[in-house]
Structure 1
């Protein structure tokens, strides 16, 4: 049984080459790098302060070698998610295009982490950040941007004899780009009895011929091929309907709520993630406080990371080399405990001093790495899965 969490203390420019030398390969990389708020970076940064550089140039120069090194550790089927705010999202998007290739861009997600909005200062009350998503190679990426959490049972109002919920969808393709000219093999007659609801690809006694038409009477096509109809005729029903050209008989599909091997239907994730779905900065602070105290001001909620990690297979190897408070490792442990997965997470953070007078410093957590380590130790005790700890470079 693999250990779920590994924590490596060290600057990521030291740690990532070491992992490469060890043959490490990540299926998923999540990064929450330092946002460019004008403060100095805690990580080793040879470019910071170079003559003539703007803050944006310095930040991009700081990020580029780390993204390049991280990319080299990713499986061809892998993906990377990077959290960022308005200060650098435009520059990060261009940098990600440079490092990963424009063709491997998957999404720019808006994340509503502060529903109340930031009330300090002037201007707008900002309530969102972003997550940029790129594939290592979009042609072979195994990321599945669907989730059972986004499915609403209320959308499936009908109940079968076996107690399973479903809804009716037209078997006719409602997209007019698909028609007898563009998809001729999908324009064929079916046979149905509107009294019993029976549908068949072959004529039967009591059945009437049904051809697909749009509401205005123009010829349409079915969404299923004839062999599919023959295989799944029990999932079809015919009913009288009324269109603009009058009454007719149509074929409907029973679209089941529970249908795949996981036992739960999955729906594509939207590109706006609400706090009510994935948590907020406030809930993230409360989660961390419950484990080790109020020792980090802006952690990410585990709900955000669970959603991200769940886009990959349940044996994924996850890498977070800006680990901060350790949310990624926490989310991995939570998912494994919930679904029996064997995900593994490697978290990396630098032993940068915590601020004098801060809650973390007062709690005896003298470096950022101490915060990460403390949380992952608490996670191992609460969720299981163990923890391996290492130090790379000069402590």
Structure 2
């Protein structure tokens, strides 16, 4: 500080950490993976438009880029909290302690450690930032121009997520924070002596292009959040006007009657008698479930309403708490599952309702699948056609956990079973509702796996006649027709949730995707008569295996048949 010389080097305002460049490289690195369908674990496989995908979300997001580029209107994520422990996401950009120490200058030239690895130093946050950065970077590509992303986050990484989203989406596309009253039981954070206790969590909201988010009037939305009830004169919110009458709060003079009722035992009024009489006269106090409450209407706050850096507070009595979410999960599963933090269905329905009633929502940290549950519930209530894509790493449950004891070996098993049970329950509860039979309570299960194509890595001198025979098929052993079909969908960038059916033509299985847009047959030695029947359907695309044809002339003949009967069809042989 006493030096007369300025530190050398250029300076600029930037947000960086050890591993950031590697996380960008990782986001753009190609992969040889595919998504394998699992029909037996799905519900309404042929007709559902919902997806449940098991696998590392970074790799899944990469695979979805072609099929869902610019097609997702809402992304909601509740990423894992940063506890300082190693992540279950094995990304290549992660650095070990020694590498980090070298890059960040954690050790002095003489080899002495400069600081301890606590939550105040960089490595605690670096791995987490790298993990979330690459995923949000790819996720942005999936959003529609008028799409939004909502990120639930606690205070430990809030500042970093803000900076990351500002960089990826641009500060101008920041809508604000929704503050959720996550608990009605304050958590002591060590500053209770200042009257500060943790009760809320933030949900950050960014648009891909804020100016194109149509039908999204922030003032109207804030009004709905501020005034969720209907009172004598229209929309309002009800506020309790009682408080404790014990100790230093005791006020005998504040125990008069309002609407003919005294305060409840152990309570006294928060307002004076003169104010109470005016509210009675104006009709702005009501008895709500046996409790006297004050009704606050929009006109009561004209001139006093100030816009904050967040929209408004989502109150626990309106959208529930984390404990409500946990209770809902345990109830639908029939036993305690052991999740500590679960978003409530009411909270998710509130968020989903902002974006309309016909769109795709993606949750790539889906956990117990609250988002999917809320989508089905909200669709049942308002007749909407929202579709969900859930992505979850099949993280193993602890053998000592309640979930493991209940038979769930990983988190995906919990999420899938919850959706199955929730769907059945919603149908039962709305049995008499018109059109409920059309509600989509199904989902297609897809699982991340290595490519269907065999890996050829032999050098010329390693080939033998026996080896060549074993390489006759370019498809890995154990892969079935649906595996091949869905790998083609990913390659061609087709949505994975369109209608599917199959039929037998002369004893050969023919797969029909999206009512004839895409037809495939992966049988061996397909005769010309079957090829002609497929061509007569005039699909947009047709796919066959290389081994579907006895020889090269037979393969060439397929092209000639399609030129004659379906000249506009794109034919591919894999």
- TM-score band by shorter chain is 0.5 to 0.7
The partner residue of 1:109 within 153, 178, 189 is: 178
Aligned match of 1:350: 393
* SS of corresponding position for 2:412: helix
CA offset at residue 115 of structure 1? Answer: 1.5
**Per-residue Cα deviation, 1:205-256 (whole angstroms, up to 9, x for no partner):** xxxxxxxxxxxxxxxxxxxxxxxxxxxxxxxxxxxxxxxxxxxxxxxxxx9x
Distance 1:279 1:108 in 2: 18
Structure 2-normalised TM-score?
A: 0.47
Q: Is the CA contact (8 Å cut-off) linking 1:3 and 1:344 kept in structure 2? A: no
Which structure has the larger Rg? Answer: 2
With over 3 angstroms needed to count, the CA separation of the structure-2 counterparts of 1:4 and 1:275, relative to structure 1, is: farther
Aligned match of 1:128: 200
Aligned match of 2:444: 388
Aligned match of 2:404: 361
**Corresponding position: 1:323 with 2:366:** yes
* SS of corresponding position for 2:149: strand
**Per-residue Cα deviation, 1:137-171 (whole angstroms, up to 9, x for no partner):** 001013454275734322x63xxxxxxx699xxxx
With over 3 angstroms needed to count, the CA separation of the structure-2 counterparts of 1:123 and 1:368, relative to structure 1, is: farther
Q: Is the CA contact (8 Å cut-off) linking 2:363 and 2:391 kept in structure 1? A: yes
Structure 1-normalised TM-score?
A: 0.68
**Corresponding position: 1:90 with 2:159:** yes
Aligned match of 2:488: none
How big is the alpha-carbon RMSD for the aligned residues of Structure 1 and Structure 2?
2.7
* SS of corresponding position for 1:272: strand
Aligned match of 2:420: 377
Report how many aligned residue pairs link the two structures: 288
* SS of corresponding position for 1:54: helix
Aligned match of 2:58: 13
**Per-residue Cα deviation, 1:1-46 (whole angstroms, up to 9, x for no partner):** 9736321111111111211122352100000001112232222322
Q: Is the CA contact (8 Å cut-off) linking 1:317 and 1:345 kept in structure 2? A: yes
Stretches of structure 2 lacking an aligned partner (at least 5 in a row): 1-45, 101-121, 237-297, 299-309, 428-439, 451-574
With over 3 angstroms needed to count, the CA separation of the structure-2 counterparts of 1:20 and 1:127, relative to structure 1, is: same
Higher helix share: 2
* SS of corresponding position for 2:82: coil
With over 3 angstroms needed to count, the CA separation of the structure-2 counterparts of 1:107 and 1:166, relative to structure 1, is: closer
Aligned match of 2:133: 64
**1:218-297 to 2 correspondence within 5 Å?**
270-292=311-333, 293-295=335-337, 296-297=339-340
Is 18-27 or 324-333 further displaced after alignment? 18-27
CA offset at residue 282 of structure 1? Answer: 1.0
Aligned match of 1:45: 91
